[in-house]
Amino acid sequence: MSRAITDKDILEAIHSGRDDRALEHLYKTLLPKITQMICSNSGGTEEANDIFQDAMLIFYRQVKEGKFDEQYEVSGFIYTICRNLWINRAKRKQRSTELTNKEFFIESDSDIELDILTEERSELVMGLLSKLGDRCKELLLCSIFYKYSMKEICQIMGFSTENAAKTRNYKCKQKLLKLIEENPSLKTILK
Amino acid sequence: MTRSEVAKHALVDDYLAGKLNTSEAAEFEQQMHTDSSFAELVEMHKFANGVVKDYGLLQVKMKLQKIHLKHEAKPAKSWAKAAAVTASVAAISISAFLLMDSEKEYVKDVPLEVAAMQSQLLTHPKQYSSTTAKASFTATKAEKASEKAAEDPSKSQVASPKRDAQAVSVEPSASAKSTSVPTEPTPDLAAASAIAPQSVAPKAVLAASSAPAESPAAAAKPSPIATPPPADNQPKADVAPQPEADRCAEVRLSVSIQPEILTPSCEDQRNGEIQLTNEQVFGGEAPYEFSLDGGQHFQTDTRFVALEGNRDYELVIRDVNGCTSDVERIYLDTRNCVASFNPIMGEQWEIPLPRNANGTFKVMSQKGMVYQARVTAGYPNTWNGNTVSGTATTGEYVWEFVFDNGRQPLRGRVSVIR
């Protein structure tokens, strides 16, 4: 019954949204390795945690959007993203002269940094969504982020009929579209 | 809102979710080409969906931060670090909170609320009479915690010297987990540091990095070889085909117990609660049923109420196919629902909240609300007697904690003596 968590479990957990255990598993197994990698390359434990979280979100997004190639091992994939993120960050800090381990830093022209949720972006998103109300927020998360079917949404959120859920979903979406329209500057910042 | 409008938006949603088949999608794209206002609508939806997806990812980030906090919260570690992470979580929540213009209504509502709460409290006079003379709440709590630490190893076999008493009581599942998950952080770290002096680890990293270097695209798509040094080969070898009859052997049903789902019972009462969610269940097939008595009685409701405190519950989950989880022991604490403290003497009152709670804490006197604070991930968990008009004067105060997630608010009284 209590067996090791497989990659398949992790991907399923992310798809279903019941991911607490999978996230904890990845945290426990991966963070020590990432901390070691970053600490032996001029970084600290807090930086390691930041990088780990950023990498997890990149991984999560790829899985959610069906872009994750399942032939890769999940832990290897996240580890490599962490390494690439750390390379970019270390370069930006222009600390390359102090690096202990020069060969470690391979050239990376990837634009994974673009996928990172910056603080500015996070705040705008949180601010925008908070104006929607809790129920709308949850409903849109269910329909757009978790991609649950209307039937599942009925169950989760207690709508009596699928039609009721659909109509409510439509109204919430309209509300969000209106909020975005009222803030034309958002589009340029969040682009 | 016309029906065709709803249908049009639903179609856009389906297209963006990739739910249209090839010919439908082709027709859809054709329409985007010919109708620029339609194309604009699709763009708007796409953008809005992006915002919601980012929001979803932020939820994931919050979960990761919570996990980090939980593991960081070992006694010897620096408080400052944990506080910094809490602060960053708080920053996000607070900014969100400020954007909700609910404050005006809220202040207006207070007198009514106070009246309602006080009448409710007065209906249970016994509950509040005896304890006012008690010593500072924080002190009794600390005593209780150390007692508990002494009891617990024998009771639920959770003998982990590294965890503090509170962590042991809230997470009795920890010992069960550490046997099942092969890579616990401690042995892992030990392994990592054992490798480091011989510089084997950096070499392994180099070997891994040489693979992606061959193709530029590999930076974002790492090679399968790029597994971190102490490779975890077990999971894949583990998936052996099982006979049909033994279908539950394939099902690994488990639940992740977060401390915030537990509401301790008031002392000498039975009003504790355990609020599970389907989201916490991992594996198996929904809908689930839940039992707190080791699998004798199941219920579909995820909420258990009127529970006695200071005892263990044996949680078992059953999925739709009748497969059950292992027994997860949950310790439900008691809380002191009445307390007194002296702010002039520098005492603080520890608010009896479930760990990691998010919500709004309010204190009210007869005149109305005197204090209000946002609580994020369980902090701040004390009240030092400060109010909008200076330090609270001697008297009884009514407090309330309103959860962000819509759970039944917690209420109680606290006496200030000075």
Residue A190's pLDDT band, with cuts at 50, 70 and 90, is: low
Interface residue B68 vs chain A (CB under 8 A) = yes
Angstrom distance (rounded) from CA B408 to CA A138: 19
Share of chain B above pLDDT 70, in %: 56
The listed range with the strongest mean pLDDT (A22-31, B85-94, B370-379, B389-398) is A22-31
Interface residue B229 vs chain A (CB under 8 A) = yes
pLDDT in tens, A45-74: 888 999 999 999 999 988 988 888 888 889
Contact residues, chain B, for A144 at CB < 8 Å: 13, 17, 49, 52-53, 56
Best mutation target among B14, B70, B203, B232 (most A Cβ atoms within 10 Å) is B232
In one letter, which amino acid is B356?
Answer: N
> Mind spelling out the 3-state secondary structure of chain B?
CCHHHHHHHHHHHHHHCCCCCHHHHHHHHHHHHHCHHHHHHHHHHHHHHHHHHHHHHHHHHHHHHHHHHHHHCCCCCCHHHHHHHHHHHHHHHHHHHHHCCCHHHHHHHHHHHHHHHHHHHHCCHHHHHHHHHCCCHHHHHHHHHHHHHHHHHHHHCCCCCCCCHHHHHHCCCHHHHHHHCCCCHHHHHHHHHHHHHHCHHHHHHHHHHHHHHHCHHHHCCCCCCCCCCCCCCHHHHHCCCCCHHHHHHHCCCEECCCHHHEECEECCCCCEEEECCHHHEECCCCCCEEECECCCCCECCCEEEEECCCEEEEEEEECCCCCECCCEEEEECEECCEEEECHHHCCCEECCCCCCCCEEEEEEECCEEEEEEEEECCECCEECCEECCEECCCEEEEEEEEECCCCCCEEEEEEECC
Backbone φ/ψ region at A105: left (φ over 0), alpha (ψ -120 to 50), beta? beta
A47's tokens: 């930086």
Looking at the partner chain, which of A7, A130, A177 has a beta carbon nearest the beta carbon of B99? A130
pLDDT in tens, B182-206: 333 444 443 333 333 333 333 333 3
Dihedral angle at the C-alpha atoms of B82, B84, B89, B93, nearest 10 degrees? 130
B59-97 burial, b if ≥16 CB within 10 A, otherwise e? ebbebbbbbbbbebbeeeeeeebbeebbeebbebbeebb
Interface residue B316 vs chain A (CB under 8 A) = no
Residue B74's pLDDT band, with cuts at 50, 70 and 90, is: low
Interface residue B206 vs chain A (CB under 8 A) = yes
Size of interface A-B (CB pairs under 8 A): 261
Minimal Cα distance from A115: which residue of B? Answer: B54
User: Under a CB-based contact definition with an 8 Å cutoff, are residues B343 and B391 in contact?
Assistant: yes
Cβ separation B282–A112 shorter than 8 A:
no
Contact residues, chain A, for B285 at CB < 8 Å: none
H or E element in which residue A20 lies: helix A20-39
Angstrom distance (rounded) from CA A19 to CA A119: 23
pLDDT in tens, B307-360: 888 888 989 988 888 888 888 888 888 776 667 788 877 778 888 887 788 899
B4's tokens: 């065709």
Contact residues, chain A, for B317 at CB < 8 Å: none
Angstrom distance (rounded) from CA B150 to CA B168: 11
Cβ separation B185–A28 shorter than 8 A:
yes
Interface residue B281 vs chain A (CB under 8 A) = yes
Dihedral angle at the C-alpha atoms of A122, A124, A125, A130, nearest 10 degrees? 120
Does the model's pTM come out above 0.90? no
For residue B235, pLDDT over 90 is answered with no
User: Cβ of A156: how many Cβ atoms within 10 Å?
Assistant: 19
Interface residue B64 vs chain A (CB under 8 A) = yes
Cβ separation A122–B279 shorter than 8 A:
no
Q: What is the largest CA-CA distance in chain A?
A: 64
Q: Which of B341, B391, B343, B398 is nearest to B367 (CA)?
A: B398
Residue A161 has what DSSP assignment?
Answer: S
A141's tokens: 């998360």
**Distance, in angstroms, between A59 CA and closest chain B CA?**
10
The listed range with the strongest mean pLDDT (A102-116, B105-119, B219-233) is A102-116
pLDDT at B2: 55
Higher pLDDT among residues A109 and A129, named by residue = A129
pLDDT in tens, B262-294: 888 877 778 888 888 777 787 888 788 899 988
pLDDT in tens, A6-44: 888 999 999 888 888 899 999 999 999 999 888 888 888
A163's tokens: 């039609």
User: Under a CB-based contact definition with an 8 Å cutoff, are residues A124 and A130 in contact?
Assistant: no
Angstrom distance (rounded) from CA A38 to CA A87: 10
pLDDT in tens, B31-46: 999 998 889 889 889 9
**Distance, in angstroms, between A37 CA and closest chain B CA?**
8
As a whole number, the mean pLDDT across chain B is: 66
Looking at residues A90-108, what average pLDDT do you find?
Answer: 51
